[in-house]
Amino acid sequence: MRVRITFAKDGALRYIGHLDLQHLWEWTLRRAGQALIYSQGFHPSPKIQIAAALPLGFSGQAEVVDVWLEADAAHLPSPDSLQSAAPPGLTVLAVEAVDERGPALQTRVEAAEYLVTLLEPVEASDLEERIAAVLAAESLPRERRGKPYDLRALIEMLETGTGTVPSAKHIRMRLAAREGATGRPEELLDVLGIPLEMVRVARTHLIFRKR
Amino acid sequence: MLSPSEIDARLERILLKVQKPGRYVGGEFNSVVKDWDSVKARVAFIFPDIYDIGVSNLGLQILYDLVNQRPDALAERAYSPWIDMEEQMRISGIPLYSLESKHALADFDVLGFSIPYETLYTNVLNALALAGIPLRSLDRSEIHPLVIAGGHACFNPEPMHAFMDAFVIGEGEEVIGEIIEAVKQEKRKSKNRGGLLRSLAEISGVYVPRFYDVTYLDDGTVEAITPNVSEAPQTILKRMLAQLPPPPTKFLVPNIDIVHNRVAVEVMRGCTRGCRFCQAGMITRPVRERGVDEVVAAAEAAIQSTGVEELALLSLSSSDYTPVLDLVTAIGEKFAGRHLTVSLPSLRIDTVSVALMEKLKERRSGGFTLAPEAASERMRRIINKYIPDEQILSTVREIYSRGWPTIKLYFMIGHPSETLEDVQAIVDLCKRVLAEGRRALGGRARVHAGVSTFIPKPHTPFQWVAVDTPQQIRLKQDLLKRELRDRNIKLSWTEPDDTLLEAWLSRGDRRLAEVLFTAWQKGAKFDAWGDQMRFGAWQEAFADRDLDPAFYTHRPRRPDEIFPWEHISDAVRKNYLFADYQKSLAGEIQQDCRQNCHACGILPAFATERREHPGLYWKCPEVKSPQRAKVHK
């Protein structure tokens, strides 16, 4: 059975990278007593697909992973059984069985929303001005790993506040996350003149394309 | 000192600037975070190398588990930060802290260092400095944590004597509890460091170096080692558990990729082979085995509690574990189809080993490791690891023909009385092994030859002999490099500088403490990491302290010489070792002692323990008392 797990990743796990997270799920599932389905080939590995890599240091509030288990749909693991086998920092939010033949999760991610918390206060009006300037720009040409791209085209939303509460200590952003067109919060923060070590970043949502 | 929340806040600002920040945040499954104020004694265990290497250390896992089982104590962990992290910590003023609660190490009652090998010494000094704790025992008082160390390297504690308040000699499972009791006592009453150290000196297996005076003869060798307080015994006999306690099963599961992410079950402690170069084989006597049922149950519990799919069955010599075949069969049946990788290290060179490995491995990828240690029959007699050439060849024939494409062969150069002919024998043997591989597998067959350099270690029959000079080592290595040029043979070796450093540190006396300190001041650390080792700093340190390094390494020791480690006893008698050394010179083999006791000294030293545990699992043979033996003659 293919099982989709929605989870939060925080605390010490913010410093755990994508490949390590893969292993972490492997061990967590085994501790929960689940037998994993392996890929074929000379080096079989468990079938685990994480929707989108989360940059080191970011927390995730609603990350998604698909795992393939030997058990059938009548034996869907409960969120509690997975939670008790999970390391500190990993919170299981939802578990559902999904169509075995559905497309890979990675190909369905369209955008991601982030909430940035400033660790030290900045002048509210100054921040608003910088955000307005970014939104007003026709294009924001940037270069990453030697490849030029337009960051402006990847910004779908950018504002101060938490989404529910106005706050000069928070910035919300929604950035495109399609294959070959992924907006990075750290790049946008750089344009806003905010160094990464002055903030805490949480990915609050992943937005998936309807099939 | 900074509070845990201050440390946390500062860490957040630096962690993204370093490689692998997951090393520095803890949060592993099965790690234990207790309420700091709920316990009376707080212990930090420190492995003085990076997280990736330290976290899987079995010794520390055992002690961590044992201390955390106590309601009155907690154990947390720390490792050496890598160079980049150390720099960031210094810039931000972050002291070395524990991964569990982020307390500064200075806040603990006890700091326990695990020192399995000597090249960690400078990292111990560095860790104390990063913790903001005075390096020297004499500069510390009751306001500082008690600083102790244990592990195999501590069987010659003298080079580190100035920096440790106490050493644990031998097995730590029981003595750690006795140390915690003593620390609790001290906190209740005297609050006096001297008083605590005196009570520690009374605990069997604990060595408090400040309570001993060492005098030297004109030639620089030790004249006498004398206790200077009544609590200190003349000889510190190692601790030894008559029966192995239940093995730990709640292994820490690191969140990052590390060297050995596996669970380990120790199936046996000690070794009866008596290889003369092997320190572990001498200092871990007697052999004590665990039962198959206990090992299988522990393996299952460990796999269940970690989810890890790699199991190591540890011992110094797997083939000598009495029910090894039963164990392998039981493990195979229990875990069939569960994607479990099992390793069974240190197998004897015979075809039985090949059959054992075949039962464990579904695939033949990777290599099959054999350790002849010497390539000529003459030399294998000298080191007491006698195996006929033909047995080696028939074993490799079997390995290749069963489909393993690579055989790793471990050798040492620098054995006593070795000539270039013995080194040439390594070349010849590698080529003969590869020829067997070609016959079975054609061009796919490979040989990896790992050739390290012998260091005569304390408490072994070879403790009297000299280490090869760098010139001798280079000559032998050049021969190997020249003669083993074959695209299917891979040669690896130990750099002579690394060998010399390890030899000084393992054979040194108290005067080496100043050399160590000076070398550390000059920047020596991570000496076990080839690319970090600063040989120049060490040479300068010896010169600054007016000591000749060759005194420690390139000098055969007098038969009557008092060794710097003379007061540390592993229960194997010195005259037994000397007699065995003489046998070696005559090319005589000492048989495995499971059938016949060679009277090494273990049984009389632990006579009480033996009486209380005459059972199955302690593998010394029954010894008749001398009188009864006479009657039978």
C-alpha R_g of chain A: 19
What's the mean pLDDT in A41-58? 90
* B574-588 per-position pLDDT tens digit: 999 999 999 999 999
Best mutation target among B255, B257, B309, B363 (most A Cβ atoms within 10 Å) is B255
Q: Token pair for residue A14?
A: 């913010």
Answer whether residue A114 shows pLDDT above 90: yes
Q: Using alpha carbons, list the distances in angstroms from residue B293 to A210, B251, B323, B327, B356.
A: 54, 20, 11, 8, 18
- List the beta bridge partners of residue A96: A4
* B415-442 per-position pLDDT tens digit: 999 999 999 999 999 999 999 999 999 9
Percent of chain A with pLDDT over 90: 81
CATH number of the domain located at residue range(s) A110-208 in this protein: 3.30.70.100
What's the mean pLDDT in B278-307? 96
What's the mean pLDDT in B117-136? 98
A89/B27 CB distance under 8 A: yes
What's the mean pLDDT in A94-105? 94
d(CA B316, CA A162): 59
A57/B21 CB distance under 8 A: yes
Q: Provide the chain A residues 137-156 that lie in CB contact (below 8 A) with chain B.
A: none
Best mutation target among A13, A14, A15 (most B Cβ atoms within 10 Å) is A15
Mean pLDDT score of chain A = 93
Q: Give residue B190's pLDDT.
A: 66
Answer whether residue B167 shows pLDDT above 70: yes
A31/B13 CB distance under 8 A: no
Answer whether residue B633 shows pLDDT above 60: no
Answer whether residue B631 shows pLDDT above 50: no
What's the mean pLDDT in B298-313? 95
B307/A29 CB distance under 8 A: yes
Is there a contact between A127 and A160 (Cβ–Cβ < 8 Å)? yes
Does B471 or B631 have the greater pLDDT score? B471
* B237-255 per-position pLDDT tens digit: 999 999 999 999 999 999 9
The two beta strands, B212-216 and A181-182, are unpaired
pLDDT bin (cut points 50, 70, 90) of residue A211 is: low
Answer whether residue B625 shows pLDDT above 80: no
* B353-385 per-position pLDDT tens digit: 999 988 887 666 678 999 999 999 999 999 999
> CATH topology for A2-102?
Alpha-Beta Plaits (3.30.70)
* B488-519 per-position pLDDT tens digit: 999 999 999 999 999 999 999 999 999 999 99
Answer whether residue B629 shows pLDDT above 80: no
A57/B24 CB distance under 8 A: no
What's the mean pLDDT in A102-107? 92
Residue B439 identity: R
Same fold, A2-102 and A110-208: yes
Strand locations in B138-201 (E): 146-150, 166-168
Residue ranges of the domains in chain B?
Answer: 4-237
What's the mean pLDDT in B264-273? 96
Q: Which residues of A are less than 8 Å from B255 in CB distance?
A: 12-13, 16, 20, 24, 87
Between A37-46, A154-163, B11-20, B140-149, the lowest mean confidence (pLDDT) is in: A37-46
- List the beta bridge partners of residue B413: B453
Q: What is the pTM of this model?
A: 0.95
- List the beta bridge partners of residue A179: none
pLDDT bin (cut points 50, 70, 90) of residue A75 is: very high
pLDDT bin (cut points 50, 70, 90) of residue B27 is: very high
* B82-98 per-position pLDDT tens digit: 999 999 999 999 999 99
A85 close to B (CB below 8 A): yes
What's the mean pLDDT in B389-396? 96
A16 close to B (CB below 8 A): yes
Residue B499 identity: T
Q: Token pair for residue B445?
A: 């067959």
* A137-159 per-position pLDDT tens digit: 999 999 988 889 999 999 999 99
Q: For B453-480, give one letter per residue: b (16+ CB within 10 A) or e.
A: bbbbbbbbbbbbbbbbebebbeebbebb
d(CA B348, CA B320): 8
B256/A89 CB distance under 8 A: no
Answer whether residue B127 shows pLDDT above 70: yes
Q: What is chain B's length?
A: 633
pLDDT bin (cut points 50, 70, 90) of residue B257 is: confident
What CATH architecture is B4-237? Answer: 3-Layer(aba) Sandwich (3.40)
Residue ranges of the domains in chain A?
Answer: 2-102, 110-208
Cis peptide before B286 (omega within 30 of 0): yes
* DSSP state for residue B94 in the 8-state scheme: P
State how far residue A54 is from chain B, nearest Cα, in angstroms. Answer: 14
Mean pLDDT score of chain B = 94
